[in-house]
Amino acid sequence: MTLLIVTAVDAERDAVRAGLKDNADISVQTIGLGPAQAAAATALLLAKGNYTGVISAGIAGAFAGRAEIGDTVIATRAIAADLGAQSPRGWLPVVSLGFGGVSSISCDVNLTKDVEGQRGAVLTLATVTGTKETAEELAGRYPDGTAEAMEGFGVATAAKLVGIPFAEIRTISNIVGPRDKDGWKLQEAFAALTKAVGGLA
Ligand SMILES: O=C(O)c1cccc(C(=O)CC[C@H]2O[C@@H](n3cnc4c(=O)[nH]cnc43)[C@H](O)[C@@H]2O)c1
């Protein structure tokens, strides 16, 4: 039986593979960017293989004051932070709309028990946050929200459908706020990712 680790882009996949040193019991695959692509591609992989669990891994943005560049965040839960409705009285998560669905999926602690890092919720968004206002709104809405990325909830949804454990590991490349892509510390985050997944090997 094999553990599946999925990443959005090849650079993340290569950083994870470097930390695992050819461990034959772990398969690392690129699934593409965003929650919809992540859910569909993960479901396809899980349908074709026999996996003990799935981990969404990669880089992420941290909410100011909750994690720093180069830190490792191990998700307690993956939150669908843009699945719901806006209203004049504030945000309405999908669960409050009355049509079913869930707003967050818990992570299995056993999958990441050998990984070092801080624990906190990781938000999944189809749109990367790019303003101070949205960053503050999300941080206020989710007091346990430590980081945001674009795939975790999609991967978690596929794992839940198949009935296998899910976890998410993210290393911090940037602070969530006004868009400054040139300021993302990609190499620091990829190096931290290689180190973090070493515990899984
Ligand atoms: O390999 C490269 O040189 C490279 C250049 C640009 C971007 C990447 C990525 O890996 C981007 C996709 C990756 O980033 C996650 N991510 C990171 N920070 C955030 C954020 O602030 N908000 C949302 N997502 C973020 C995303 O989930 C993907 O895993 C590589």
Write the ipTM.
0.91
CA of 89 to the centre of ligand 1 (A): 32
| Contact by Cβ (8 Å): 63, 138 | yes
pTM of the model: 0.97
- Of all residues in the chain, what percent carry a pLDDT higher than 70? 100
| Residues making up the chain, counted from first to last | 201
- Say which CATH architecture domain 2-200 belongs to: 3-Layer(aba) Sandwich (3.40)
- Residue boundaries of the structural domains of the chain: 2-200
What is the chain's Cα-based Rg? 16
| Ligand 1 atom 28: residue of nearest CA | 8
Using pLDDT thresholds of 50, 70 and 90, give the confidence band for residue 1: confident
Using pLDDT thresholds of 50, 70 and 90, give the confidence band for residue 164: very high
Per the rule left: phi > 0, alpha: psi between -120 and 50, beta: everything else, 123 is beta
Burial 161-180 (b: 16+ CB within 10 A, else e): eeebbbbbbbbbbbbbbeee
Angle formed at CA 35 by CA 167 and CA 179, multiple of 5 degrees: 100
| Ligand 1 atom 16: residue of nearest CA | 60
What confidence tens digit (pLDDT) does each residue in 67-97 have? 999 999 999 999 999 999 999 999 999 999 9
**Which atom of ligand 1 is closest in space to residue 176's alpha carbon?**
21
CA of 60 to the centre of ligand 1 (A): 6
